[in-house]
Amino acid sequence: MGDLILCGILFLVAVGALFVEPTTREQETEAWRLAGRIYGCWFLGGLVLLPVLGAVRATAVHLTTMIAAPVALFLVLVLLAAW
């Protein structure tokens, strides 16, 4: 559940809907980079920490969720724009 919430929040940060709305291209790029760094750290942290703790099932769920959630959010955004 935490992965889904984090991916949703990072998506909102990246598009400028949460915290500060980017007004320049540099601010927009920085918002995407910040969201990407947080996403990458959370993704790799889970892939390293969970197996060390012996949570193989949680590792598989983490991997699946962190890959599927951004794809699903993107598809929802594209489908809503096309509709």
Average pLDDT of adjacent 10-residue blocks, the chain of 83 residues = 85 81 87 90 93 93 91 86 83
Q: What is the pLDDT of residue 3?
A: 85
Q: Is the pTM of this model over 0.85?
A: no
- 65 and 3 in contact (C-beta within 8 Å)? yes
